[in-house]
Structure 1
Amino acid sequence: MQYSTENLINIYGSGQGLPTAKQWETLLSGDMNSPLTVVNFFKFSDRADSTLISGKEMAGREAFAVYVKTSVPKVSQVGGHFILRGIVEGSLIGDNSTQWDIVAIGQYPRREYFFKLFQDDEYQKAFKFRQAALEKQDVFLVSTV
């Protein structure tokens, strides 16, 4: 599959808890053959956004658990792995303006493998639960050369 900003926006959207067009472009501009680490910080909403998950009423944590049930095995299936998935205890340094609930760090031997997630139909469906679950998230792309 040829990836483009337009294609990714058509499938996943852009802005408001999703990458902006510029952020999608940053992801696409990297060397597809080089390693990539993805660092995720997640803050749950009290209630999941039911409009994103076919009207289902659930807590943010519950919706995120639905996402995790699909996403964790999918990361392995595409050739990646998690080096860390954990609950944040608290802040040691910094202003702690956002008290994150979970941190997850995934590694992919090739950036191209990360894109395989975006192609997967089951992952695309599960991703809606991620969107619905979160009040806030920060996701960083780290080149590991």
Structure 2
Amino acid sequence: MRALLQRVSEASVAVDGKVIGQCGPGLLILICAMQGDTEVEADQLASKIAKLRIFTDEAGKMNRSILDTAGSALVISQFTLAADTSRGNRPGFSRAAPPVEGRRLYEYFAAQIAAQGIATQTGRFGADMKVRLVNDGPVTLWMES
């Protein structure tokens, strides 16, 4: 699985002009299931993200996790993280998991983030979504399982 994490002050996602998910201080997690991914990769990634020390402590150092700060998460499916831009000018997405499997693993991953004790909301798989965020830092990290 591939994830792009953004530490945020706030984030929201809307479909057809209606906000369907949001979070306060915490993480916006853009996630893509790749071909061959299973629950094992989702479990590992969710566990790592929950413990990742990217929030500042009282000394201003990145030394606290989302769990330490009682932050929340907004998890958005984004198959474009699978983009292959090595040839030509049009990205290819053939390395992304097929839609049925991608949806299943996206929903599973979001549930695993919530199971870590993180208040979690989601977007809508396959929908045309409008995502708003206030990146805190900015802190943006790329992760792969």
TM over 0.5: no
Is the helix fraction higher in 1 or 2? 1
Query: TM (normalized to structure 2)?
Result: 0.31
